[in-house]
A and B are shown apart, each in its own frame.
Chain A
Amino acid sequence: MHIFANPARFLSIARPLTPWLGWIGGAMIAAALYAGLLITPPDYLQGESVRIMYIHVPAAWLGMGGWTGIAVASLMQLIWRHPLASVAARAIAVPGALFAAICLVTGSLWGRPTWGTYWEWDGRLTSMLVLFFLYIAYIALSSAGAERGSSDRISAIFGVVGAINIPIIHYSVEWWRTLHQGQSIGLGGSKIDSSLLWPLLVSTLGFSLLFGAIVLMRMRAMLAETKVEARLKRMTAE
């Protein structure tokens, strides 16, 4: 992990990696969504609305995975003072918030035909909404911190503390009786039939690769912006 702490070495890996992640991820998403929308059979109970899962589940995965990434990067920033860690955490925040929002909206659109309601304050839905608000707070905090320099340690602490919500979201359906159904996919196997499952796996992998490309692009942008800023400052000082 420490080799990525060097921005120059990071860029030499990130530059060629970005288009690969982006294009392969995009192609996998396109294939999975096409199959999920038109090829897979409907569910025996939900009917056609089961197709929303091919967007909803990857979005939920990225929303939760994104914050896990922020927490890991924040810990590395706090302990080892890696210069790239805070850049990585800030790069994850906006796409993470977006996918958390997509998860909430698509879930709501699934809930109406399935449960008969757009929204209910059950454990899973509420904890996911809390995650979205945590992202918004983190974005506000870290963009204020970026201007003042050293105070982005506060957003790193916030990133670590906020991670406590991730296991709460995951286990909400087991700890509390919720309207949301339990885990379909676990270590013991899947309760989703294989004819419905494969586009979900392709879609989740594709969205994850694209998410990686988005984060790399945002990190590269931030590194270049810092470089430009530093150079302009030096030029005006001369």
Chain B
Amino acid sequence: MNQWPFIIAAYAIGIVGTVAVTALSYLRMRRAERQASALTRRD
């Protein structure tokens, strides 16, 4: 049995999942911290 399709699928799922959760966490943090600092400056 050719094992490479399984290996490539496993790497793709691992890398896409990791990049996605990192990017989403970063974007959520940036949005929230910008909103927070904008509100602080308004005072």
Contact = CB atoms under 8 A, between A and B. Distances in A.
Given A52-B6, A95-B21, A221 B32 contact: yes
Contacts of B32: 220-222, 224-225, 228
A204 to B, nearest CB: 13
Interface string A75-101: 000000000000000000011001101
Q: Is the interface of B mostly helix, strand, loop or mixed?
A: helix
Contact of B14 (A59, A94, A220, A228): A59
Given A55-B14, A213-B22, A227-B36, A48 B29 contact: no
- Interface bracket on A: 35 or more
A56 B11 CA distance: 9
B32 to A, nearest CB: 4
Contacts of A22: 22
A210 B3 CA distance: 29
Interface residues of B, number: 26
Interface string B10-43: 1101110110011001101101110110011000
A8 B40 CA distance: 15
Contacts of A26: 22
B29 A102 contact: no
Interface of B: 1, 3-4, 6-7, 9-11, 13-15, 17-18, 21-22, 25-26, 28-29, 31-33, 35-36, 39-40
A217 B7 CA distance: 30
B26 to A, nearest CB: 6
Interface stretch (A107-115, A124-132, A133-141, A152-160): A107-115
B15 A105 contact: no
Contact of B1 (A113, A207, A224): A113
A220 B29 contact: yes
A214 B14 contact: no
Nearest to A42: B3
B18 A109 contact: no
22 contacts: A22-B22, A51-B7, A51-B11, A98-B21, A99-B17, A102-B18, A109-B6, A109-B9, A109-B10, A110-B10, A207-B18, A210-B18, A217-B22, A217-B29, A218-B25, A218-B28, A218-B29, A221-B31, A221-B33, A228-B35, A231-B39, A231-B40
